[in-house]
Amino acid sequence: MTRRDVVVIGGSAGSHKPLAQTLARLPSDLPAVVLVVLHVAPGARSTLADSLARSCALPVLPAVDGTRLEPGRVHVAVPDRHLLVDDDVIRLSDGPRQNRVRPAVDALFRSAARWCGPRLVGVILSGSLDDGAAGLAAITATGGIALVQDPTEARFPGMPTAALRVVPDAATLPAIDLADAIVEVAGKPITAGAGPPTPLVWETDMLAYGTSNTPDRGPPVVLGCPECSGGMYAVRTGRAAHYVCHVGHSYSPQSLSAVRDDSIEAAVWTAVSALQEKVMILEELVEQAQTAGDPTAADDFRTEAGRAARAADGLREYVHPPPSAARTVAFRRPAGG
């Protein structure tokens, strides 16, 4: 009999405490395996499992490629590797980054949705932006259960809020109650769900193997991948949408917007620098014209320099608006979770 026996947990900024609270309240005989992804820097030491193990009755282990999923264990993603599920086996992948990070919550959630479907419990914790929302939507679309930390208590409510926007029926709970909700459904019998949609198969193949025989990637969109400049496809799951390029880089809407903001700011500062250099050159020309006794040319150069200086000031204000304008012109967004 098929049972609900796989729990996937994802979070980012501010999620360590609620994750530790949740794991500490899970019993040693939990009839499910737990897989955890928190966003960590690529060069970070893999110490999260040791930290969490101190207060958890279950064994907490760094994820190891090729390990079979067995109930009663917690496997934690390691730096710079996606934690994936592949036919009840853990896979670690250095495949394309998703939402500019590796490991990524969506990578785990979507691969687990493909292979485990209704056996899943997906949990979203504190974090910025909207990583995990598309993955949670995939979990519910394939028959799994969704749990979300209450955004009002999350240190960074972005990820929980985004998850609830696309999965409004998810159970919303304080962190202290998430473990009880997991225990309540873990090990319960379930009915088989529908197979995964083909875009999900293609995307998870690309993450795990770098290639796929599945032709359906979703409809192409007029967007270029920020990392490789390749064409992108829109993948929709219920209310959720994200964008995947032909090699597998993936972006949620908010993450893609944040990348574009970075590109715009870089371009603006380049323009400001060029305008300031033009002002310096024109000021030299003003001085030359005055020395040569040509006041008309000096006035023309001075007028042009003033116009360039005002343009530079306007662009600088666009990047860093005054406090009153900043409330309505939100140019900068957080760069990541």
Answer whether residue 316 shows pLDDT above 90: no
Q: Alpha-carbon distance 267 to 204, whole Å?
A: 34
pLDDT, residue 327, reads: 44
- The DSSP call for residue 10 is E
C-alpha distances out from residue 209 to 84, 92, 204, 282, Å: 11, 11, 8, 57
Answer whether residue 333 shows pLDDT above 70: no
Q: What is the pLDDT of residues 218-243, one digit of tens each?
A: 899 999 999 999 999 999 999 999 99
pLDDT range class, residue 336, cuts 50, 70, 90: very low
Average pLDDT over residues 268-292: 94
pLDDT range class, residue 337, cuts 50, 70, 90: low
The type of residue at 123 is V
Please identify every residue annotated as catalytic.
Answer: 12, 39, 131
pLDDT, residue 324, reads: 58
Q: What is the pLDDT of residues 101-152, one digit of tens each?
A: 999 999 999 999 999 999 999 999 999 999 999 999 999 999 999 999 999 9
pLDDT range class, residue 202, cuts 50, 70, 90: very high
Q: Count Cβ neighbours within 10 Å for each residue of 155-165 and write b for 16 or more, e otherwise.
A: ebbbbbbbbbe
pLDDT range class, residue 323, cuts 50, 70, 90: low
Q: Alpha-carbon distance 190 to 142, whole Å?
A: 12
**Mutual orientation of helices 133-141 and 105-116 as an angle, nearest 10°?**
10
Answer whether residue 3 shows pLDDT above 90: yes
More confident residue, 61 or 47: 61
The mean pLDDT of the chain is 91
Domain spans in the chain, listed from the N-terminal domain onward: 6-185, 263-326
Average pLDDT over residues 14-22: 97
- The DSSP call for residue 9 is E
pLDDT, residue 138, reads: 96
CATH superfamily of 6-185: Methylesterase CheB, C-terminal domain (3.40.50.180)
Sign of the Cα pseudo-torsion (151, 158, 130, 47, in order):
negative
pTM, rounded to two decimals: 0.84
Q: Alpha-carbon distance 101 to 105, whole Å?
A: 9
| Residue 244, SS3 per DSSP | strand
CA angle 225, 230, 234 (to 5 degrees): 65
More confident residue, 151 or 263: 151
Answer whether residue 307 shows pLDDT above 90: yes
Show the DSSP H helices in 83-132 as ranges. Answer: 105-116
